[in-house]
Amino acid sequence: MTSLLHFFGNLYLRRHNIEKAQQYYQSSLDLLNEVAPSHVVISSVHYKLAYIAWECKQPDSALMHLWNGYGIAEARNSRGEMARILRKQAQILAETALSPSQEKDAETLRTKAEVLRVELQGPDNISDDDSLAAYDLLVCGYHRF
């Protein structure tokens, strides 16, 4: 059932129906938390809810989802998810930074994401593309946008 909810969230997100996508992702997250609270797909759902929150100009909510998703990804040693989450956290912090300290935090997260990306893809296979789409390729196709 959670896979179906996740699928419909993906479908609505691709159709730019943010409200419906959020409803399906939240339902998926609620069910996963009930039946499999440490399943790695939870990190993907949090990532997508963070994406939606960011699109809706809610950076605090986005960062909270990313933080929660990172904890699951780290516990499950899902380095692709970890890299993708770190890269998104870096983007949000960089774009909302209110101090040099927050800018430094964003750069630290970006560097950690890049280290994981190099470990996963190998130093000879890294392109200059540092986009979120490049990090999306580090996770299972089902978890991508």
Rg (CA), the chain: 15
Q: Which of 80, 79, 84, 7 is nearest to 47 (CA)?
A: 84
Whole-number Å distance between alpha carbons of 65 and 71: 10
pLDDT at position 144, please?
A: 73
pLDDT at position 123, please?
A: 77
Where do the domains of the chain lie, and which CATH numbers do they carry?
2-143 (1.25.40.10)
Average pLDDT in the 12-36 region?
A: 95
Model pTM score: 0.91
Q: Tell me the pLDDT band of 131, cut-offs 50, 70 and 90.
A: confident
Q: Quickly list H helices, 16-78.
A: 18-35, 41-55, 59-75
pLDDT at position 122, please?
A: 84
Mean of per-residue pLDDT scores for the chain: 91
Average pLDDT in the 19-24 region?
A: 96
Query: Do residues 50 and 62 lie in contact, with contact meaning Cβ atoms separated by under 8 Å?
Result: yes
The neighbour count for residue 57, using CB atoms within 10 Å, is 8
- 138: exposed, middle or buried (C-beta count within 10 Å: 0-12, 13-18, 19+)? buried
Please write the tens of the pLDDT for every residue from 63-107: 999 999 999 999 999 999 999 999 999 999 999 988 899 999 999
Q: Give percent above pLDDT 70 in the chain.
A: 99
pLDDT at position 129, please?
A: 75
pLDDT at position 142, please?
A: 65
Q: Give percent above pLDDT 90 in the chain.
A: 72
Whole-number Å distance between alpha carbons of 78 and 126: 19
